[in-house]
Amino acid sequence: MSNSFSSSTPDVQSDFLVLGSGVAGLMVALRLAERGTVSLVTKRAIMDSNTSQAQGGIASVFGRVDSFELHVEDTLKAGDGLCNREVADLVVRNGPDRIRELIDLGVKFNLDQNAADHTTLDLGREGGHSQKRIVHAQDMTGLELETVLVGHVRAHSRITVFENHMGVDLITCSTRMKRGMVTTTHDDRCIGAYVLDTDTSRVKTFSAAITVLATGGAGKVYLYTSNPDVATGDGMAMGYRAGATVANMEFVQFHPTCLYHPDAKNFLISEAVRGEGAILVNAQGRRFMEAYDPQCELACRDVVARAIDTELKKSGADSVFLDISHKSEEVIRSRFPNLYQRCLSFGIDMTTDPIPVVPAAHYMCGGVATDMSGRTDIHQLYAIGETACTGLHGANRLASNSLIEALVYARTAAEGAISEFDQIDMTTMPTPVAWDEVGTVDADEQIMVVHNWDEIRRCMWNYVGIVRSNKRLARAKRRIANIQAEIQEYYWDFKITPDLIELRNITMVAELIVRCATHRKESRGLHYTLEYPNRDDRRWGRDTLIRRPFLG
Ligand SMILES: Cc1cc2nc3c(=O)[nH]c(=O)nc-3n(C[C@H](O)[C@H](O)[C@H](O)COP(=O)(O)OP(=O)(O)OC[C@H]3O[C@@H](n4cnc5c(N)ncnc54)[C@H](O)[C@@H]3O)c2cc1C
């Protein structure tokens, strides 16, 4: 491969570069550090991640009557015909070892108080699981994990953490244009990334033999989401722009009940509230789930989310309501102490008032396509965690299967990356081309960024949400194309800012979701289209794969 471009000394050089500090990034960094030096880059504070928000727990087989086969079957059933059985097998069978590893690192999971040995894990059960298998740390599992792993990462002498550093684009051997634009070639190699230091507003060049994308999900592409602000699909967009294959972006999981309140950005009302007998009523106070499913409020997530969406679209109301006020105050306060307090902090007393809720984008099943070692189709580039599409989730994710996927893939990817690293002749590693800002000036039209942020998220919510149609998808495609044209113009003329980078990425991810959704002419798992309401295995029983055209 020719390297005929001007190069410069990188700002930061290490053996491995990891983008993202959720469970996937932290865990892979710890493993890679056993072999070499690691730069761990994260765009805000190290704890800012989806991982820190995970409440439920981690699915893994520990129960006496449970088995790997049952966990695999539950995973495949949820995935509605699109899971890769081999991948499900890999994740499920490696699950218990990864949990034991976490315990050895100091993670404190809830133990079964009734067991004699005081080491038996307390296992919860969630929708779609045929057995109790959710390992958890109260209702703050992700926070416990993140806190313990961050402690280990910070203490490791071979890991350097760069907070407030945002990955902008990957650098490959074919990066040779202004601002790192990649002229995609096939058989490319990743040699690092351009990273914006958000404290100094300077773009730095990070060079590494192996780069791992672990930048999490993309909930912020939608107006309503359970995800924190960092979830803007950066890794998916960066991977795609660099020429990696992206898969199954049409499968976006919506959680049915997120609190609807101007001050509550992303607060989930747990499924357990419906489990305890709460009913859903519309703006007129009428219960509506009976009309949609015989299980009413206890129907599965997608059915409830779709029903709420239909009610909202029919009435034009802003939200529906979840009402548990018929239960005694004592029961509500003792069963949901945190929820009760959080709702109260927003002026909602759930013992007397119905809680306003909307469905919200929760989890991306699609992402950068990888093999069973987390390898993408660009050499020296790996993707793990929510950013990746490994084949585990298929068309719908089984609850609590994402943390375990991230843990298992952090290990297999580290093994793959170390073995690839050991084969690289470092004397042939090209020096990355320098970031070029010639001709750009400070941004003076921040309003364009703010306006387009809002427009893209509203457009995705209204036209590419829970229920899709040909007309809505076509409308979204046109709007997104207009916004992209504006962003392109702005991107080349002005110095980049974090908001602009994220806007560019959510718009890119929106485009990928629309393209995948338009392509799949059936309804399956999380993808529901009015014109094609049935599953069609013969024509569509396969992944949706998209890759940037060869631009060489
Ligand atoms: C409210 C909520 C509850 C959940 N509950 C559960 C549960 O009970 N069980 C379960 O299995 N799953 C659950 N999930 C899903 C699960 O938490 C995530 O899928 C998982 O944590 C993803 O881990 P990750 O490491 O891939 O990404 P994240 O944890 O999201 O980490 C991504 C990291 O990348 C950083 N980043 C992003 N972009 C850039 C960039 N451009 N440059 C540098 N850094 C960047 C972010 O700041 C962050 O540090 C839940 C999710 C939410 C939102």
Q: β-pairing, 388-389 with 367-369?
A: parallel
pLDDT beyond 60 at 432: yes
pLDDT beyond 70 at 240: yes
pLDDT beyond 60 at 552: no
| Ligand 1 pocket test, candidate residues 196, 396, 402, most atoms within 8 A of CB | 402
Q: What pLDDT is recorded for position 208?
A: 97
- Which is the closest atom of ligand 1 to the Cα of 44? 47
Which of 116-120, 164-168, 379-383, 412-416 bottoms out in mean pLDDT, i.e. has the lowest?
116-120
Residue 288 backbone dihedrals phi, psi, to 5 degrees: -125, -15
Segment 150-170 shows an average pLDDT of 98
For ligand 1, the distance from its centroid to the CA atom of residue 22, given in whole angstroms, is: 6
Which tens digit of pLDDT belongs to each residue from 199-225? 999 999 999 999 999 999 999 999 999
Which of 214-218, 270-274, 363-367, 484-488 bottoms out in mean pLDDT, i.e. has the lowest?
270-274
Q: What pLDDT is recorded for position 6?
A: 56
pTM: 0.94
Task: Classify residue 351 by burial, with Cβ atoms within 10 Å: 0-12, 13-18, 19+.
Answer: middle
Q: What pLDDT is recorded for position 1?
A: 34
Which of 77-81, 347-351, 548-552 bottoms out in mean pLDDT, i.e. has the lowest?
548-552
Residue 41 region, left (φ>0) first, then alpha (ψ -120 to 50), else beta?
A: beta
Q: Which of 344, 275, 348, 281 is nearest to 315 (CA)?
A: 281
Q: What are the strands, taking DSSP E only, across 142-245? A: 159-162, 165-172, 190-197, 202-213
Q: How far apart are CA 58 and CA 73, in angstroms?
A: 17
Q: Are 132 and 124 in contact (CB under 8 A)?
A: yes
The Cβ-side half-sphere exposure at 507, using a 13 Å CA radius, reads 26
Q: What pLDDT is recorded for position 429?
A: 86
Question: Could you tell me the CA-to-CA distances from 408 to 66, 94, 429, 473, 520 in Å, in that order?
Answer: 20, 6, 29, 35, 30
Q: Could you tell me the pLDDT band of residue 115, with boundaries at 50, 70 and 90? A: confident
Pocket of ligand 1 (CB under 6 A): 19-25, 41-44, 48-51, 53-58, 141-142, 166-167, 214-217, 226-227, 230-231, 234, 268, 363, 385-387, 400-403, 406
Q: How far apart are CA 519 and CA 238, in angstroms?
A: 22
3-state secondary structure of 247: strand
Residue 444's CB: how many other CB atoms inside 10 A? 9
Measuring from atom 51 of ligand 1, which residue has the nearest CA? 54
Q: What pLDDT is recorded for position 7?
A: 63
pLDDT > 90: what percent of the chain?
77
pLDDT beyond 50 at 2: no
Segment 361-380 shows an average pLDDT of 97
- Which is the closest atom of ligand 1 to the Cα of 405? 11
pLDDT beyond 90 at 262: no
Q: Which two tokens stand for residue 330?
A: 């004592």
Segment 290-316 shows an average pLDDT of 90
Q: Are 439 and 495 in contact (CB under 8 A)?
A: no
Task: Classify residue 176 by burial, with Cβ atoms within 10 Å: 0-12, 13-18, 19+.
Answer: middle
Segment 6-20 shows an average pLDDT of 90
Q: What pLDDT is recorded for position 448?
A: 84
**Which residues are part of the catalytic machinery?**
301
Output the average pLDDT for the chain.
92
Measuring from atom 31 of ligand 1, which residue has the nearest CA? 22
